């Protein structure tokens, strides 16, 4: 039985100067999430920079370098309520050199707010962002055709861009597009409509965020074990498996298996942070008790005996390269997936994805912000599923054991076996 998610994870993306920060400022301001002192701060900062208007962009520019250079460098997170629904909004920088930040912000997002300049139209970066959304499994995009005031609120221009956006998303097998004409500066169609766009009868940005169906899907039960708890109960040593259910539902009486080991047992009790339940589902953190003691340790994945994921040591995957030092194969790295860290070798770099030309090409190396297809060899068998089937079992990060830096984001496309 699917459950409606109480939280929506959104990400705002766009090219430089599309007015993204202004839109976010507006959203917070018009939903009452900006306090008087924060507005006073923006007023003061606007004055210091010689702006003649309240520059809401300054609100999310949180770091000194960002304010000095007037650009966004790092992902900022803000929470607000869209008519009773909690939205966690990641603001991703639009500069090409920070595409890695877009990957960071959009990984796990339910919906992307994409800005397009009504006058300039779609850019190569718009297409790039749509392709990244498609790859990360972001299902919905609110395409904001901004600065509609600069094209005289023209319906024809909006329709033209909306069609282009839908076509661009279809070209990459991308997300569903809801296009909205708006002016972030004038505050049109963010939370309120305007007579200037009398021809538009669709929803505002806030309405889409509020209405978007986002069910916690009814996938197979998976729980990576984070911690095996032990305590003494009347002389008996009681063990429980603590972890967060990443997908699906588990019930008392279910036959579960610990992978990759393969030993199975019956769930005898489910402890949801002090509350005994007979059923629990994602995304809750729980402790599972088993009827028989089996060998389970941190990093194992609990799954139903009847619906087991694959265990493999070799996978094909899309990688977003995040580090300044380029990747070339073979490379010795480490893979971090939920509660596991294992050594890995990037055996082969098959191709680089040229998102601007929308084609694959041969490449000897991936530079920072590049996307490519690789084959990964894992030092130990791991539970893996294609990212499109199960996000948590199909996503990993690459860590450089020399620098300890997070150098890549990985989405498994194919499980090749052991």
How many separate helices (H) and strands (E) can be counted in the chain?
A: 9, 24
- Provide the minimum distance between the beta carbon of 80 and another protein in the complex, in angstroms, as a whole number: 9
Nearest to 354 by CA among 371, 366, 378, 367: 371
Task: List the beta bridge partners of residue 188.
Answer: 183
- Distance from the Cα of residue 188 to its chain's centroid: 27
Hey, what are 61's tokens?
Answer: 């520019």
In whole angstroms, what is the distance from residue 228 CA to residue 243 CA? 9
Which is closer to another protein, CB of 85 or CB of 128? Answer: 85
Q: Residue 209 interacts with another protein (CB under 8 A)?
A: no
- Provide the minimum distance between the beta carbon of 183 and another protein in the complex, in angstroms, as a whole number: 25
Angle at 109 between CA 1 and CA 87, to 5 degrees: 85
User: Applying CB under 8 A, which of residues 163, 170, 211, 278 lies at the interface with another protein?
Assistant: 278
Q: Residue 194 in 3-state DSSP?
A: coil
Residues whose CB is less than 8 angstroms from the CB of residue 52 and which lie 6 or more positions away in sequence, other chains included: none
Residues 82-121 vs another protein: string with x where CB under 8 A? ----x-x-----------xx-xx--xx-------------
User: Applying CB under 8 A, which of residues 263, 277, 316, 360 lies at the interface with another protein?
Assistant: 277
Q: Residue 123 interacts with another protein (CB under 8 A)?
A: no
User: Are 263 and 257 in contact, with CB atoms under 8 Å apart?
Assistant: yes
Residues from 356 through 395 that contact another protein (CB under 8 A)? 391-392, 395
Q: Residue 217 interacts with another protein (CB under 8 A)?
A: no
Residues from 164 through 203 that contact another protein (CB under 8 A)? none
Stretch that binds another protein, among 55-63, 164-172, 310-318, 343-351 (CB under 8 A): 55-63
Residues whose CB is less than 8 angstroms from the CB of residue 194 and which lie 6 or more positions away in sequence, other chains included: 183, 186, 188
Environment class of residue 131 by beta-carbon count within 10 Å: exposed (0-12), middle (13-18) or buried (19+)? buried
Which is closer to another protein, CB of 6 or CB of 417? Answer: 6
Number of residues that bind another protein (CB under 8 A): 77
Residues from 298 through 357 that contact another protein (CB under 8 A)? 298, 322, 334, 336-339, 341
Stretch that binds another protein, among 4-12, 180-188, 198-206, 349-357 (CB under 8 A): 4-12
């Amino acid at each position: 039985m699917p459950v409606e998610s109480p939280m929506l994870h959104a990400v705002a993306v766009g090219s430089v100067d599309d007015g993204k920060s202004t839109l976010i400022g507006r959203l917070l301001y018009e939903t009452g999430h900006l306090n008087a002192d924060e507005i006073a701060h923006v007023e003061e900062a606007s004055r210091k920079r010689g702006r003649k208007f309240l520059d809401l962009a300054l609100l999310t520019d949180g770091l000194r370098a960002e304010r000095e250079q007037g650009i966004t460098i790092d992902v900022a997170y803000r929470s607000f309520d869209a008519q009773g629904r909690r939205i966690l909004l990641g603001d991703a920088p639009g500069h090409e050199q920070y595409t890695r930040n877009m990957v960071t912000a959009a990984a796990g997002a339910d919906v992307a707010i994409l800005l397009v300049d009504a006058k300039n139209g779609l850019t190569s970066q718009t297409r790039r962002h749509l392709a990244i959304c498609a790859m990360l499994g972001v299902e919905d995009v609110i395409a904001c055709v901004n600065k509609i005031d600069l094209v005289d609120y023209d319906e024809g221009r909006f329709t033209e861009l909306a069609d282009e956006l839908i076509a661009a998303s279809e070209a990459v097998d991308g997300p569903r597009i809801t296009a909205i004409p708006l002016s972030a500066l004038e505050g049109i169609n963010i939370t309120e409509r305007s007579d200037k766009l009398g021809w538009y009868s669709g929803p505002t940005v806030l309405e889409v965020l509020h209405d978007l169906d986002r069910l916690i899907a009814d996938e197979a039960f998976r729980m990576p074990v984070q911690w095996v708890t032990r305590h003494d109960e009347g002389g008996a040593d009681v063990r429980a498996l603590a972890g967060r259910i990443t997908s699906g539902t588990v019930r008392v009486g279910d036959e579960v298996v610990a992978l990759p080991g393969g030993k199975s047992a019956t769930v005898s009790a489910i402890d949801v942070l002090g509350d005994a339940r007979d059923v629990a589902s994602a995304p809750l953190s729980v402790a599972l008790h088993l009827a028989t003691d089996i060998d389970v340790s941190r990093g194992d994945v609990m799954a139903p005996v009847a619906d087991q994921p694959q265990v493999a040591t070799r996978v094909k995957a899309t990688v977003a390269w995040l580090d300044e030092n380029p990747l070339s194969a073979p490379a010795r790295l480490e893979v971090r997936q939920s509660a596991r860290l294992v050594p890995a070798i990037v055996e082969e770099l098959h191709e680089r994805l040229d998102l601007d030309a929308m084609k694959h090409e041969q490449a000897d190396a991936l530079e920072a912000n590049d996307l490519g297809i690789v084959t990964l060899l894992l030092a130990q068998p791991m539970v893996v599923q294609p990212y499109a089937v199960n996000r948590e079992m199909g996503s990993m990060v690459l860590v450089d054991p020399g620098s300890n830096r997070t150098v890549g984001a990985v989405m498994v496309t194919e499980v090749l076996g052991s």
